[in-house]
A and B are shown apart, each in its own frame.
Chain A
């Protein structure tokens, strides 16, 4: 049987970065094909080309043996290709049916809309109430809605970009089961992921990209996670950070029944959190997006005002925000300017209000070399740094303030395996030197790796877990809250 989708020798360059360099990819009918790679390996770019969101510099897109030029996603959809993006793209205030109509270009006013949506759900084997408001759906059901949106029309090719990024382990399993079910109904799926176990669990075939080139394509049988990791990295995976047993020091963060009104347009806010963090320990916060973690972390960092309860922080608090390019740094400022801004007062380069820029430059240069930040120099604009180097800089600036408390919001978001290991290692090192660390990570594996102790936020209520809680129990608590903990 001829392949359904062929991407032939695709090259794509963004400014100085060669995102894809002659990459080829094939998708057969009725298969799940995992596309693996580190962040920046080019996997999303390749699929954006297949979906008409980007145009290749060279190479061809062939669908069912016919070469095509996909000028935009509408063209791709017409040819039976649907894509599920990494983040939910539904409108919370709209119903399921309205969201699907919006994505598929159906008339939302038609009386037959609900019927049509139900038929779609039945065809795909993904039941979903057409009248439910998208904002009320659980994360797993939202993902289901995203898939239905992608499959509306007559899509037979589904491109799925990192579906587990915002899901708990059990929700991820649910989605993977859905993919198998869709495969049985004749939908071919490309699963973009950097998680080896997901790829091994569900894919028939695996393709690995590294630096824009395909380094491996083959059937899943006989593959091990170790082999795949070596393909992805081009070397052995980095060792896990050594973890000396923490010597719990005195308690430096203490909250009782802390409540904080929600900061974003959605989410529960923080409703009740009783928590302590001691010097020298790393406390991890596990939560599905929008369950109060942002409010908890920002309250401890002094960036959000509690609406109830008590909060005491003894010492300087340094904060690593999730969105480093918009909150952690000012992209148009030089590294030195960012350092002076982040350090504030007191600082070695300040004489009263006067800034001694040459001293600030020298100190920044020292920081750059200490933290192995790849930058043109202290006078380079921060936006010219890669994501990993920006995060190194944000962490360096946070630690430079000699804090007693470090609050880190998803510090390894979007980083590759090596940079992730390094960032988590920095947090462990800080704890070993007596820093109290409070960290949230959307990736449960990362969180378990770095934390001495995990607490869970579900619907804004903080639950402490018994020692030695495994990821199953954590995942259940993330969804069900305290109910999962009662025997």
Chain B
């Protein structure tokens, strides 16, 4: 019953999202069922579509979603995963380009470690601004996205531009810094990282005192401080930095697992879709894997839809947006219902 209730809402939300998409397609003159079929084939049509399309695409979504779930659990509204992803990617490209000759067991951790640290640092800027000057992290993390994107743009046209100085992109990283692939596919080791980190996240969140305190801070910082004797600001900062580290890691994984080189628009908005992934999972790490896969399927499907039926791939974002709105509205409705029952 409980499990059904928890699954019911996200499924209903996705159903409503797809209905809206169908209605929109029909209204704008597309053959809606043809388009939906193309979408299904794009996501699940073949083993290759799944292994080389859907699964690799889910990796950054899951990694970012896990980190944001952690931040949101502590009440830290990190809207800057996109920027943290990019700083992670820059760091991985830089380190990955300089580990030539080192064996993979050294080169990969070095590149990913640098990515993780860069993402954490980028989120750390927001923590410092919040602590020292009281600027809300919603604003700073959002604005730091633009800074990070500008930084990438400068890097690929300046200090990190490839050797021939023709294309606005970096040199590819050393072969030893690239994540191993499942032979014959583009599925890389990052997917394994995502699964392991999801499990780890679930255990930390649900089985440790730290996880309980983190959730307490996010649910009610005053009660956490008074009844739980914890310092909310500290948990807030830890959660924000950790979520930045996860987004940075996802940038590093994308770079060393998929693109191998840094260029602009490396992310099709993973940092923002990650917000939806975390919210739809209700911040639960294991559910984040499911919602990450779902969104990857939507986006991979939308790409298929564009190829076969000529529907712009951004249609996937319509579904994502509707899903988020339905989930948020259901939350509001539930909150309205709860106090009415308790108050006298």
Contacts and interface: CB of A to CB of B under 8 A. Distances in A.
Interface of A: 14-17, 19, 40, 45, 302-303, 319, 321, 326-333, 337-338, 340-342, 344-345, 350, 353-355, 357, 383-384, 394, 397
Interface stretch (B100-108, B147-155, B171-179, B202-210): B202-210
B274 to A, nearest CB: 24
Given A326-B220, A341-B227, 17 more contacts: A14-B341, A15-B341, A15-B342, A16-B341, A19-B344, A321-B226, A326-B222, A327-B223, A328-B223, A330-B227, A337-B212, A338-B227, A341-B213, A341-B224, A354-B207, A355-B207, A383-B342
Nearest to A16: B341
Interface in B195-231: 207-210, 212-213, 215-216, 219-220, 222-230
Interface of B: 207-210, 212-213, 215-216, 219-220, 222-230, 338, 340-344
B340 A341 contact: no
Contacts of B222: 326-327
Contacts of B341: 14-16
Nearest to A17: B344
Given A330-B219, A333-B216, A342 B207 contact: no
B151 to A, nearest CB: 37
Given A14-B341, A16-B341, A330 B220 contact: yes
B208 A353 contact: yes
Contacts of A332: 219-220
Contact of A333 (B219, B226, B338, B342): B219
A319 B209 contact: no
A326 B343 contact: no
A329 B220 CA distance: 9
Nearest to B342: A383
In the A-B complex, the 7 residue pairs with the smallest Cβ-Cβ separation, listed nearest first, are A15-B341, A327-B226, A341-B228, A353-B208, A330-B223, A330-B220, A321-B226
B277 to A, nearest CB: 23
B75 to A, nearest CB: 12
Contacts of B340: 14-15
B223 A329 contact: yes
Contacts of B342: 15, 383-384
A355 B219 contact: no
Contacts of A331: 220
Contact of B209 (A15, A330, A340): A340
A45 B208 contact: no
A416 B229 CA distance: 29
16 contacts: A14-B340, A19-B344, A45-B344, A303-B226, A326-B223, A327-B222, A330-B227, A332-B220, A338-B227, A341-B213, A344-B228, A344-B230, A353-B208, A353-B209, A384-B342, A394-B227
Contacts of B219: 330, 332-333
A40 B343 CA distance: 11
Contacts of B207: 354-355, 357
A345 B223 contact: no
B343 A344 contact: no
Contacts of B338: 383
Contacts of A330: 216, 219-220, 223-224, 227
